[in-house]
């Protein structure tokens, strides 16, 4: 008998509690049936309120739906309300998340306007001191989150795991008849730390619908295992990210490999791609990568996507590569305006192909496609719209004319 076609697509998103992250009337929903949210983090000195506000604006313009800022000193905490004010003045309503380590309890208590201006606090239970001091500091931060009705991410990290917890779990492991590897104990400790701290936050009065969890590690297989375990053991909203992913293609590939597996399994409510920027590099790159992961997996759509062939010996020039690049840049640049004017434009597909081998076929499958001439072909470029060949472009103005066709299509 004939084989049945395999099902296509990601597993349904796992049901988690929905967390509202608010600034004014603007609400970003994490978890539940909400789409996976893209977030990012600034790398400016928060004390420099202007530079930080500008970078937050750039990240938000690129599509970051939440932006995290470092709040590490009294000087930084003092500037947070000014950053918020600048953003409000510029009409940027993206909620701000404060990233706290070591002294968050003190900064939030000493700077109530900072506590108020932030929409969410990131708490790392591994960086709050030890023993009773840690418990007190944690309780203080949760009490402030309750007072101002803020969401909290309890974010544990491989590199700053609670030492006492780890030592206790290693001791328990040594009593086992068949001890686990140290790596497995550490993974278990991460998950245990996140969930037990979330439960403690609830005991302290924080609603479970104000809690997001993360367990960040820097190796792909560990991250996948940790989140599968975390997801099976709780229904808190989950923040996914591979920490210290690295530079350039390595960071992108490692993050994509880890997150794609989890997202395909329906795990993850918000993602951040932690890329080490190249010197002078664009911080918003991490937002673009996060969007591209979600869009290429068919989970969300942010901007029209360009399908382009890689090129080969059949192409006589790099014209089609430049055209593909220009068109993708043009589409991305237009999106802040287009997304309000032309709802649904983000699902559009554009093909830019290098020769007749796959060019016409791929172009017909796209909403708009162009097949540029390869080596030895007639120097003309047929354009396809909604699967039909509508015009053939020739000469030196092919790129401009094609861009006009794309623009007219969007407007129509
Ligand atoms: Fe090469 Fe043509 Fe295929 Fe592009 S479409 S990779 S130019 S054969």
Q: What does the pLDDT look like over 19-28, one tens digit per residue? A: 999 999 999 9
Q: How far is the CA of 375 from the centre of ligand 1 (A)?
A: 10
- Residue 200: CB atoms within 10 Å: 16
When pLDDT is cut at 50, 70 and 90, the band that residue 320 belongs to is confident
- Give the atom of ligand 1 at the shortest distance from the alpha carbon of 356: 2
How would you classify the pairing of strands 349-353 and 368-371? parallel
Residue 279 pLDDT > 80, yes or no?
Answer: no
Q: What is the pLDDT of residues 47-67, one digit of tens each?
A: 999 999 999 999 999 999 999
Q: Model pTM?
A: 0.93
When pLDDT is cut at 50, 70 and 90, the band that residue 244 belongs to is confident
Supply the pLDDT for residue 389: 96
Taking CA atoms only, the protein residue closest to ligand 1 atom 6 is: 311
- Give the atom of ligand 1 at the shortest distance from the alpha carbon of 312: 1
358 lines ligand 1 (CB under 6 A): yes
313, 323, 354: residue to mutate for ligand 1 pocket, most atoms within 8 A of CB: 354
When pLDDT is cut at 50, 70 and 90, the band that residue 316 belongs to is low
Most distant CA pair in the chain: distance in Å?
A: 78
Q: What is the pLDDT of residues 140-176, one digit of tens each?
A: 999 999 999 999 999 999 888 988 899 999 999 999 9
Q: How far is the CA of 313 from the centre of ligand 1 (A)?
A: 8
Q: Which residue has the tokens 């991490």?
A: 286
Whether residue 360 contacts residue 366, with contact meaning beta carbons closer than 8 Å, is answered with no
Q: How far is the CA of 360 from the centre of ligand 1 (A)?
A: 11
Partners of 388 in the beta sheet? 385
237 lines ligand 1 (CB under 6 A): no
And the tokens for 76?
Answer: 């930084």
Q: Which of the residue ranges 76-80, 116-120, 123-127, 318-322 would you say has the lowest mean pLDDT?
A: 318-322
Taking CA atoms only, the protein residue closest to ligand 1 atom 8 is: 357
When pLDDT is cut at 50, 70 and 90, the band that residue 269 belongs to is very high
Average pLDDT over residues 122-130: 92
Q: How far is 27 from 37, CA to CA, in rounded Å?
A: 12
């Amino acid at each position: 008998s004939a084989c049945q076609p395999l099902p296509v697509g990601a597993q349904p998103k796992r049901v988690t509690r929905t967390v509202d992250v608010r600034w004014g009337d603007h609400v970003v929903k994490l978890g539940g049936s909400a789409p996976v949210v893209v977030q990012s983090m600034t790398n400016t000195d928060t004390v420099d309120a202007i530079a930080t506000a500008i970078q937050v604006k750039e990240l938000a313009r690129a599509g970051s739906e939440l932006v995290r800022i470092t709040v590490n000193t009294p000087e930084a905490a003092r500037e947070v309300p000014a950053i918020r004010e600048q953003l409000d003045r510029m009409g940027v309503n993206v909620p701000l998340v404060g990233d706290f380590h070591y002294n968050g309890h003190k900064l939030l208590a000493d700077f109530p306007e900072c506590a108020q201006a932030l929409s969410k606090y990131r708490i790392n239970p591994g960086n709050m001191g030890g023993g009773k001091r840690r418990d007190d500091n944690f309780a203080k931060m949760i009490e402030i989150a309750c007072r101002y009705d803020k969401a909290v991410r309890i974010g544990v990290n491989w590199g700053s795991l609670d030492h006492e917890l780890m030592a206790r779990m290693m001791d328990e492991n040594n009593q086992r008849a068949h001890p686990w590897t140290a790596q497995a104990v550490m993974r278990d400790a991460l998950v245990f730390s996140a969930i037990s701290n979330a439960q403690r936050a609830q005991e302290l009065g924080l609603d479970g619908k104000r809690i997001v969890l993360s367990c960040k590690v820097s190796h792909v297989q560990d991250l996948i295992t940790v989140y599968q375990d975390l997801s099976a053991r709780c229904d808190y909203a989950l923040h996914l990210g591979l920490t210290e992913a690295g530079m350039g293609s390595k960071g992108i590939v490692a993050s994509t490999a880890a997150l794609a597996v989890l997202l395909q399994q329906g795990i993850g409510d918000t993602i951040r791609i932690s890329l080490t920027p190249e010197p002078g590099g664009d911080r918003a790159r991490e937002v673009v990568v996060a969007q591209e992961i979600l869009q290429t997996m068919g989970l969300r759509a942010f901007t029209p996507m360009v399908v382009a062939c890689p090129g080969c010996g059949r192409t006589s020039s790099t014209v089609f590569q430049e055209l593909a690049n220009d068109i993708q840049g043009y589409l991305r640049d237009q999106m802040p305006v287009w997304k309000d004017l032309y709802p649904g434009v983000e699902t559009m597909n554009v093909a830019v192909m290098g020769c007749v081998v796959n060019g016409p076929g791929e172009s017909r499958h796209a909403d708009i496609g162009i097949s540029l001439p390869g080596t030895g072909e007639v120097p003309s470029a047929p354009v396809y719209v909604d699967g039909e060949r509508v015009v053939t472009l020739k000469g030196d103005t092919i790129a401009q004319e094609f861009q006009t066709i794309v623009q007219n299509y969007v407007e129509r």
